[in-house]
Amino acid sequence: MLKPKIDPCIFLHSVPDDWTQLLGVDFVNELVKRFRHVARDLDDVVKFVTENPSVSYLALRGMKIGGVYRHEWILFAESGYVSPSYRTRWPPVAEWGVLDLRIQTSPCYLLTSLRDGRSYVWRNRASSLFKWIHKVPQTRPLEVFRQVFPQWLRELANKRGYSWVAWSKWRDRRNKHLAEWLYWLDTGRMPHVDMTVGRWSDMCRNAYCTKIESGEVLYNTP
């Protein structure tokens, strides 16, 4: 029985060592075995999966998965579905603003197989993305979105911090999904995965953030 310590969003996370730490040796060895037609080792698996996220669930079928994230992994393996909810519990900020962008879908949703009308979620919850793309890319999404996301938006996140973006508002909602996008675009890593392994200093790196003394893991399950 495999018992991963993280949800399927790690399949968008580009650090192989984090896969080993959070999925476990048995899990990653099984992935290498199942992806042997396109990968020689874990590094190759990570590269293939992050470049082809929406088909990665096909390699999981039949795996016996338990633990805290059992239901998310089984749903992903059996139906190719990952929730569009944000995962990261962003550190609070002392002040925030307004960003008129509708992006209420986490990049984790890129893992979802777009069948059975699931593409509607993108149009409904992340309509601002379609100012920059015609359709959601099925291959190399990180590369595609790095090219099309507005530079001013990425510079704003760099200047004020991802947490400031997360706590800014679109209408009556926070931009926590958008903050995950900007972090992922800059690093190739998912912020809640970084936080889980203790790599969370980038979440709150300027004067806009409230000081957090303890190194607690900040993680929000969907």
Q: Which of 50-54, 73-77, 97-101, 188-192 is least confident?
A: 97-101
State pLDDT tens for residues 17-52: 999 999 999 999 999 999 999 999 999 999 999 999
Predicted local confidence at residue 221, as pLDDT: 32
pLDDT at 217: 31
Domain boundaries, the chain: 8-79, 107-203
What average pLDDT does this structure show over 92-119? 91
Confidence band, pLDDT 50/70/90 cuts, at residue 194? very high
| Predicted local confidence at residue 191, as pLDDT | 96
pLDDT at 200: 73
- Residue 4's CB is within 10 A of a number of other CB atoms, namely 21
Q: Are 71 and 142 in contact (CB under 8 A)?
A: no
| 204: confidence class by pLDDT, cuts 50, 70, 90 | low
Give this prediction's pTM.
0.90
- 73 token code pair: 């992994």
Check residue 11 and give its pLDDT.
Answer: 98
CB 135 within 8 A of CB 58: no
